[in-house]
Structure 1
Amino acid sequence: MSDLERFIKHRPDSGQWTILDYIVVGGGLAGTTVAARLAENYEVTVLLVEAGSDNRTDKIVYDIYAYSQAFGTDLDWAWPTDQGKTIRGGKTLGGSTSINGAHYTRGMQAQYDAWTTLLEISAADAGWDWEGILGYMQKSEAFSAPNSQQAAKGAESVADYHGLSGPVQVTYPDAMYGGPEQPDFINSIVNLTGIEHCPDVNGSGSNCVLMTPLTIDWHDSDHRSSSCQAYLTPVESQRTNWLTLTEHLVRNSNYLVEHRKRTASGIEFAPSSGGSTRYAATALKEKIVAAGAIQSPALLQLSGIGDSSLLNSLDIGTNLDMKGVGRNLQEQTMNSLGAGGNFDYGGEGPSDCIAYPNIHQVFGCNKIALQVAVDHNWAASQSASADSQAALEKIYEVQAGLILNGNAPIVELFYDTGYPECQLTGFGIDLWQLLPFSRGNVSITTTDPFTRPAVNVNYFGVGWDLDVQVASVSTSLSTGETVPGTRVPNTNGNFGSDQDWKSWILDPSVGLSAICGICEIHELSSKGVVDAQLKIYNMTNVRVVDASILPMQISAPPSATLYGVTEKAADIIRASN
């Protein structure tokens, strides 16, 4: 019996409704994790609805060496943006954890501690800081320390930083690269910038260069340990109280908010392929919106929760006028440099060597650049409305302080064997700008839920962000570079002018990103969307649990942090019900 047949069979009558305790919208990292934890209580029922398919047996998902092959397929949301760049996101069970690069690193302690400064004073002790999140990150993790062969290739770890009994497998590749390339990258970065070579980035500080673990399962031929593989696969035959429906999209706003009563009655959903078939469900306890940083704000807007001016323009009744829904979009933009080589890779990978330099290590003693960073007039160049300007200024102030006074890493330099220069001995460096000040937005353009929302990225709307990207490229460049090659002319020993680099970086075909911040946890008075309990302000039973709640980026890929946030969210939900 399929999951859909199970759903239909368990309807209490021939009508459209079935009754459950919890409904979770979105089967990505957050949705799968919170559904699994709620379903540990066999006395409650949980419905998880995912727009994508269950692709756990597809090699481009489970084989970590097939990374990037899912891009541009049905497993990828592939959101278009106003600047021509495509944003990748997993449209499959497990979400982006099923198609990402799988690197497991955390941000620095001060960045988590800063979240507390953005909450209402009465909620400042809610545990949204390093001390309150670290244990939950460890709870999600089953870390396997490097074996002797991996240690000989440079892999290290600090046992106290990690959890050992969680669902998500974290370790080093069994066939990790053993050639000279990764140690040479570390040594070069240390010599060039003065950055520290540390054994493990998953403690309280990330301003260093090191070899990093990945979310892979060494018990299973280095297969990907996605959220669904970690939280669902081991228990799906036992948890009869947990129903997962894939290939269905939550589509109708009428059921999420009931007649402005501040209580959500349920959801209506339909096959992701379209058509006229409709199903509906209601939850006795709570609805958890975990559709991701782009689809979650779109769903709220479809449900009458958002900026009333947008909703009115689409003839959607305003249930909650919340200006913050869909705003404060911030992305970690990426570019790649490539070069040829003449060495033996010494293994299969994946690559697992990353540097996280701070502002001084990127710009050196460039006083002009540092003065630009001190200037707090960033908000003037934003697309933010006047009523959210003060909130944005506050976030900027916190983030600028972390960069200037806390040595927060501003860029990730990821050594990448075999990419983007794909010769047998080619390699590259992928550069992510980690802490952008530019802000974009997400907004629906129609009441049709099958139409992707408009994503206005506003990349480099603040000039400082582009300066960081250019400086990072310059820090990483060496002779022998082939990507971007002649697109950035090399003349008289000068590796391209700033303007040449800016033109290349701004090319729509260049770059990827990671998103957060558009249903953010923040003071209501500062246009926040959810409170410290992750409930939508002025709603009684709807929470948002995914990357969209993070008020600002951290200096790391998001997965490790989001596992901790979601584990904490599950405990919050269980404690209140």
Structure 2
Amino acid sequence: MGSKTDPENAYDYIVCGGGTSGCVVAGRLAENKDVRVLLIEAGQHNRDLENVHMAGGWSQNFDSETDWNLVTKPMAGVDDRKVKLSRGRFLGGSSGCNGTLCIRGSKQDYDDWQLEGWSGDEFFEAMKKAETFHSKPWFKESKSGHGYSGPLHTEPHDLAPIANRLIDSFVDKGLPLHHDMFSTGDVVNGCGHVPRTVHKGIRTTAADFITKEYDRSNITILTDTTVDHVLTEQTADGLQATGAVTRGADGSEKIFYARREVIVSGGAYCSPAILMRSGIGAREELAQHGIECQVDLPGVGKNLMDHLIVFIFYETKTSNLTNCSKVYHGNAFEATYAEYREHKTGFLSTFPFGSFAFARIDDRLASSPLWKNAPRLPGRDPMGLTPSQPNIEFFTTECYGGPKQYDQFPGDGQHAFSIIAELFAPKSRGTVTLASKDPNVNPVIDCNYLADPLDMLVLSEACRYGNEIVTQGAGTKDIVAGSWPSNLNHHTYKTREDWVPYVKEHATTCYHASGTCAMGSSSDPTAVLDNKLRVRGVKGLRVADCSAMPTLHGGHTQMPAYGIGERCADFIKETWNLPLGVAARI
């Protein structure tokens, strides 16, 4: 089994989870050549996964061994549907199968956490630290909004014609164009272009922090190994994290020891499960699985938040506006794939999202009795947002496609696209609980979507507004043949109430799970972590991923996941008096 003094089994730091934040933490700690870092990843190495590096192959990573294959419980708010929650199960995690989007949110989102070290200004700097931005001649970037020395390579996306048309419609319907608004966090009502984690046709992922040019001899990457639980022991100073107990692919158990710290980076679903299997969580819940409670932390697995989205599809009258002909018509896919294999260009070199917009819609909801009568804090709307934070996001696809339930693909001569409405600041909260103390059994997830009526109010209004943009906006009103598929006629959906049944049937995850190991003040009994990401009641144990977010920002979680990894590495370096600067590559 090894021992604490055995160099084969002992490290300075053990990172449990090789996803977005975990790879950042491991890579940054390994900049100091005098420390040894172990990164443990349940899935396989990403080096040979073509559908990771080829951004257009994203969906082929799902429903297989490269997916955690998580599914929610049936949820009343979405017609008792279960919702598939695909997450990357390989080195780099969901950074290798997400939408590649760099949407940071608003600085006020992070100021609202009211935690030292996490102001909007500080957190935007952390996100910039991860990035090397590559502009394009047509893109009007904010130079101060980007980083230029991180392992994460980003660039703007060249839009398909339909996405340019939709920008014209956004502008026409009251959302002015600001090219780089999703990097600066200071535009609450407008549209723009979103930089992507793709460069020269290849997706860049968190694994790049510890592989390729950042491969270092003092970091050990252990793949195909699941973390069972964190090892703890009572010391004179209290409970101390001392290592990790793992299970190999063959079921064998192995223990690794940490001389300094253990960092849990399993994501919003798996991190609370690891803590609970380690005896850290609500005492009565642990007892149900025969787990001895080490620290009674009732907030573990609670406060689950996610962004709900709704796809609305349309058919165009005109050919060559969407990219459907490059993937669905005739033998086009074979040619498209050959182009990527040979040149790393074309449809499969990018993710098929187009243009994006933020919007405030409190004026559109002003006449609603629910909105008018809902409680609110001074200076904030019923969702808890200030006028400097958007209520919703719109984004568009450049062809037909999305989650796998959307399988009515256009045939030859048919062309379709979608606008997607996304709800920010959801009021509903869900839970993650254990199904078993067996680490190979996925946790029980209840996202509790649309449980709060305010969530349905805002999301149904977002759908109504999005439909108006497409069917009435200057860029698209004359090219839309109708809804896709044709048995849905969104032209007839006039009121907010018209959209409610559609929302219940079609609302799905945007894969922005967060909050289940939330940071908080010492006076907050539900807080799992302090502002340095340290688990309350356990020395030498931190959690670094989006589970740490007290509230979910108005954006996408990829860049915050990188930022949380950067902040965690800085906190650890401060604790152990390690240099904060980037060391020379080893």
Does the pair score TM above 0.5? yes
Equivalent residue in structure 1 for 2:198, among 216, 224, 241:
216
Answer yes or no: is the 8 Å Cα contact 2:428–2:451 preserved in 1. yes
Q: Report the CA distance shift for 1:326/1:52 in structure 2 as closer, same or farther (over 3 A).
A: same
When normalised by structure 2's length, the TM-score is: 0.83
Per the alignment, residue 544 of structure 1 pairs with: 543
User: For the residues of structure 2 that align with 1:178 and 1:274, how far apart are their CA atoms?
Assistant: 47
User: For the residues of structure 1 that align with 2:281 and 2:33, how far apart are their CA atoms?
Assistant: 35
User: For the residues of structure 1 that align with 2:486 and 2:503, how far apart are their CA atoms?
Assistant: 13
Equivalent residue in structure 1 for 2:360, among 354, 358, 361:
358
Answer yes or no: is the 8 Å Cα contact 2:108–2:388 preserved in 1. no
* SS of equivalent residue, structure 2 residue 61: coil
* 1:476 has 2:453 as partner: no
User: Which amino acid counterpart does residue 154 of structure 2 have in structure 1?
Assistant: V
User: For the residues of structure 2 that align with 1:371 and 1:146, how far apart are their CA atoms?
Assistant: 45
* 1:455 has 2:445 as partner: yes
Q: 1:500-511 residue pairs with structure 2 within 5 A?
A: 501-507=499-505, 510-511=508-509
* 1:195 has 2:171 as partner: no
Answer yes or no: is the 8 Å Cα contact 1:86–1:512 preserved in 2. no
Length, aligned pairs only: 518
Per the alignment, residue 34 of structure 2 pairs with: 43
* 1:182 has 2:163 as partner: yes
User: Which amino acid counterpart does residue 95 of structure 1 have in structure 2?
Assistant: G
Q: 1:154-193 residue pairs with structure 2 within 5 A?
A: 155-173=139-157, 176-179=158-161, 181-192=162-173
How far apart are residue 398 of structure 1 and its match? Answer: 9.7
How far apart are residue 140 of structure 1 and its match? Answer: 0.8
How far apart are residue 360 of structure 1 and its match? Answer: 3.1
User: Which amino acid counterpart does residue 452 of structure 1 have in structure 2?
Assistant: N
Moved more, 323-332 or 341-350: 341-350
* 1:371 has 2:372 as partner: yes
User: Which amino acid counterpart does residue 483 of structure 2 have in structure 1?
Assistant: T
User: For the residues of structure 2 that align with 1:399 and 1:60, how far apart are their CA atoms?
Assistant: 43
Per the alignment, residue 120 of structure 2 pairs with: 130
Per the alignment, residue 558 of structure 2 pairs with: 559
Q: 1:15-30 residue pairs with structure 2 within 5 A?
A: 18-30=9-21
How far apart are residue 542 of structure 1 and its match? Answer: 0.2
List runs of 5+ in structure 2 lacking aligned partners. 75-81, 323-345, 402-407, 472-479, 577-586
How far apart are residue 554 of structure 1 and its match? Answer: 1.0
Equivalent residue in structure 2 for 1:228, among 207, 220, 227:
207
User: For the residues of structure 2 that align with 1:555 and 1:258, how far apart are their CA atoms?
Assistant: 41
* SS of equivalent residue, structure 1 residue 525: coil
Q: Report the CA distance shift for 1:352/1:167 in structure 2 as closer, same or farther (over 3 A).
A: farther
* 1:323 has 2:298 as partner: yes
Per the alignment, residue 384 of structure 1 pairs with: none
Q: Report the CA distance shift for 1:257/1:183 in structure 2 as closer, same or farther (over 3 A).
A: farther
User: For the residues of structure 2 that align with 1:398 and 1:40, how far apart are their CA atoms?
Assistant: 44
Answer yes or no: is the 8 Å Cα contact 1:98–1:226 preserved in 2. yes
How far apart are residue 484 of structure 1 and its match? Answer: 6.2
How far apart are residue 468 of structure 1 and its match? Answer: 1.6
Equivalent residue in structure 2 for 1:57, among 48, 51, 60:
48
User: For the residues of structure 2 that align with 1:40 and 1:548, how far apart are their CA atoms?
Assistant: 25
Answer yes or no: is the 8 Å Cα contact 1:76–1:91 preserved in 2. yes
How far apart are residue 367 of structure 1 and its match? Answer: 4.6
How far apart are residue 540 of structure 1 and its match? Answer: 1.3
RMSD: 2.6
Per the alignment, residue 312 of structure 1 pairs with: 287
How far apart are residue 403 of structure 1 and its match? Answer: 5.2
Q: 1:62-101 residue pairs with structure 2 within 5 A?
A: 62-83=53-74, 84-101=82-99
Q: Percent identity?
A: 26
Deviation digits for residues 216-273 of structure 1, max 9, x if unmatched? 122xxx100111034432222xx111001111001145x24558941012111012x4
Answer yes or no: is the 8 Å Cα contact 2:464–2:499 preserved in 1. no
Per the alignment, residue 248 of structure 1 pairs with: 225
* SS of equivalent residue, structure 1 residue 262: strand
User: For the residues of structure 2 that align with 1:258 and 1:484, how far apart are their CA atoms?
Assistant: 61
Q: 1:490-529 residue pairs with structure 2 within 5 A?
A: 494-495=492-493, 501-507=499-505, 510-526=508-524, 527-529=526-528
User: Which amino acid counterpart does residue 280 of structure 2 have in structure 1?
Assistant: I
Deviation digits for residues 297-353 of structure 1, max 9, x if unmatched? 001011111001101222211111011100000110112111112142487454341
How far apart are residue 433 of structure 1 and its match? Answer: 1.2
* SS of equivalent residue, structure 1 residue 142: strand
Q: Report the CA distance shift for 1:484/1:317 in structure 2 as closer, same or farther (over 3 A).
A: farther
* SS of equivalent residue, structure 1 residue 295: helix
How far apart are residue 481 of structure 1 and its match? Answer: 4.0
User: For the residues of structure 2 that align with 1:318 and 1:553, how far apart are their CA atoms?
Assistant: 29
* SS of equivalent residue, structure 1 residue 96: helix
User: For the residues of structure 1 that align with 2:423 and 2:493, how far apart are their CA atoms?
Assistant: 20
Deviation digits for residues 368-411 of structure 1, max 9, x if unmatched? 35315x425xxxxxxxxxxxxxxxxxxx9998578553241122
Q: Report the CA distance shift for 1:200/1:177 in structure 2 as closer, same or farther (over 3 A).
A: closer
Answer yes or no: is the 8 Å Cα contact 2:383–2:454 preserved in 1. no
* SS of equivalent residue, structure 1 residue 432: strand
User: For the residues of structure 2 that align with 1:496 and 1:71, how far apart are their CA atoms?
Assistant: 36
User: Which amino acid counterpart does residue 180 of structure 2 have in structure 1?
Assistant: D
Per the alignment, residue 302 of structure 1 pairs with: 277
Moved more, 422-431 or 289-298: 422-431
Equivalent residue in structure 2 for 1:406, among 354, 367, 387:
387
Answer yes or no: is the 8 Å Cα contact 2:456–2:500 preserved in 1. yes
How far apart are residue 510 of structure 1 and its match? Answer: 4.9
Answer yes or no: is the 8 Å Cα contact 1:356–1:413 preserved in 2. yes
Equivalent residue in structure 2 for 1:262, among 236, 239, 254:
239
When normalised by structure 1's length, the TM-score is: 0.84
User: For the residues of structure 2 that align with 1:189 and 1:330, how far apart are their CA atoms?
Assistant: 28
Deviation digits for residues 461-502 of structure 1, max 9, x if unmatched? 10111122211111112364434653x566xx6327655633
Q: Report the CA distance shift for 1:510/1:322 in structure 2 as closer, same or farther (over 3 A).
A: closer
* SS of equivalent residue, structure 2 residue 492: coil
User: For the residues of structure 2 that align with 1:78 and 1:409, how far apart are their CA atoms?
Assistant: 31
User: For the residues of structure 1 that align with 2:144 and 2:427, how far apart are their CA atoms?
Assistant: 34
* 1:332 has 2:307 as partner: yes
User: Which amino acid counterpart does residue 268 of structure 1 have in structure 2?
Assistant: V
Q: Report the CA distance shift for 1:532/1:446 in structure 2 as closer, same or farther (over 3 A).
A: same
Answer yes or no: is the 8 Å Cα contact 2:425–2:554 preserved in 1. yes
Q: Report the CA distance shift for 1:540/1:33 in structure 2 as closer, same or farther (over 3 A).
A: same
